[in-house]
Amino acid sequence: MSTEHPFAQFIRIIGRGPNLSRPLDEEEMYEAAKMILSGDVEPLQLGAFLCILRVRTEVAEEGAGFVRAVRDGLTLPADAPTVDVDWATYSGKKRQLPWYLLSAFLLAQNGIKICMQGTEGHTEGRLFSSEALAALGVPLAGSLAEASAQIHATNFAYLPLRNFVPKLQDIIELKSILGVRSPVNTFARILNPFGADHELQTVFHPNYRDVHRDTAALLGQKHMAVFKGEGGEAERRPHKPVLVQYLHEGEKTEEQWPALISDTAEYNLDTLDINRLPRLWRGEEADEYGEAAVIGTAAFVLRLMRRAASPHQAIEEARDLWNARDKGNFLPSA
């Protein structure tokens, strides 16, 4: 008789059918994730595990256990900065340019330290943050230490997932084999490697908002905001009203933000010409949608950080920052 593989217990818990299966609790997921990260799981087991979770939809306790396991394996440099905002970017853009990058640069110019962490390449036909930043001449961080140095120098770093948890990037890339995205896409967004007090989260499907916020609460996250963003990225769709859900020191609240510009069909398509980003930044090109997306997204962060008392005030403060930006540089000098 063959001996049961140690990971089989976790598949059995979630996969015994509608009457006997149940979600993993936080400690069970922690142990399962430790095995996955250490490579102690057979490929067939990993595929089954990911697909069952995907069909059923992961719960907050599973997210918290998985994130804890990943964080336990991270070692920050001794001089790691105090990061203000962790900004997850995992979806890529298909219909609109990544205007949110200009929002991050704008906030960095004004002293807000941002770690943008994410992934790329898992879905064809999308423009990912790493590709856009490379085209703009902004270096990518090769490690937590490099991200730390970049944040110290410019208040901004983009840290690809493959450069601090490569195993998770490998799992995300299984989408081309499994045919669907895995729960790791959800869990990775919440990693917050530098332990920033503020997390900016977004979802493509609104029903995932509660999963993100409840997971953050279990992890003791001080402040976070989650909303339905453009194409699944943390970017304001300025021609639509949007519900933003918050977590502040354990308290859950929400706000309805009004549209910033009129809703017309011309905003629905974009050529994804990356050169339009620096032209808008330098004031060489006018784009009502792009400018409103930049201002609206920056306003979310100002409101999350409680630098504004209302959505209206946050929008006006973000607009003032935009009008006063250094048009010659994206990021402050070292």
Span 148-177, pLDDT tens digits? 999 999 999 999 999 999 999 999 988 888
One domain for residues 50 and 155: no
What pLDDT does residue 268 have?
52
What pLDDT does residue 188 have?
93
Mean pLDDT lowest for which of 36-50, 180-194, 266-280, 307-321? 266-280
Inform me whether the pLDDT recorded for 269 exceeds 60: no
Query: How far from chain centre, in Å, is Cα 173?
Result: 17
One domain for residues 100 and 20: no
- Which residue among 43, 72, 101 closes a domain? 72
Higher-scoring residue by pLDDT: 120, 217: 217
Q: How far apart are CA 266 and CA 181, in angstroms?
A: 30
Inform me whether the pLDDT recorded for 272 exceeds 90: no
Range of the domain at 291: 85-323
Asked if the structure places residue 19 within a domain, the reply is yes
Asked if the structure places residue 77 within a domain, the reply is no
Confidence of residue 29 (pLDDT cuts 50, 70, 90): very high
Q: How far apart are CA 212 and CA 254, in angstroms?
A: 14
Using a pLDDT cut of 70, give the percent of the chain over it. 96
102, 160, 243 from 236: Cα distances, Å: 12, 22, 11
Average pLDDT over residues 194-201: 97
Asked if the structure places residue 304 within a domain, the reply is yes
Give residue-wise pLDDT tens across range 42-94.
999 999 999 999 888 899 999 999 999 999 999 999 999 999 999 999 999 98
Give residue-wise pLDDT tens across range 227-265.
999 988 999 999 999 999 999 999 999 999 999 999 865
What pLDDT does residue 203 have?
82
232 DSSP 8-state letter: G
What pLDDT does residue 270 have?
58
One domain for residues 34 and 164: no
Residue-wise DSSP of 145-164: HHHHHHHHHHSEEEEEGGGT
Give residue-wise pLDDT tens across range 123-137.
677 899 999 999 999
Asked if the structure places residue 4 within a domain, the reply is no
Give residue-wise pLDDT tens across range 287-307.
999 999 999 999 999 999 999
Asked if the structure places residue 1 within a domain, the reply is no
One domain for residues 95 and 225: yes
One domain for residues 57 and 89: no
- Domain with 54 in it: what CATH number? 1.20.970.10
Task: Give the strand pairing for 251-257 and 242-248.
Answer: antiparallel
Asked if the structure places residue 203 within a domain, the reply is yes
One domain for residues 33 and 134: no
Q: Are 160 and 119 in contact (CB under 8 A)?
A: yes
168, 244, 302, 313 from 259: Cα distances, Å: 36, 13, 17, 14
One domain for residues 155 and 216: yes
One domain for residues 67 and 91: no
Average pLDDT over residues 92-101: 92
What is the domain count for the chain? 2
One domain for residues 172 and 112: yes
Inform me whether the pLDDT recorded for 334 exceeds 60: no
213 DSSP 8-state letter: H
Asked if the structure places residue 55 within a domain, the reply is yes
- Domain with 304 in it: what CATH number? 3.40.1030.10
What pLDDT does residue 266 have?
61
Asked if the structure places residue 248 within a domain, the reply is yes
Side chain identity at residue 169, one-letter code: Q
One domain for residues 203 and 268: yes
Higher-scoring residue by pLDDT: 210, 40: 40
One domain for residues 113 and 160: yes
One domain for residues 101 and 48: no
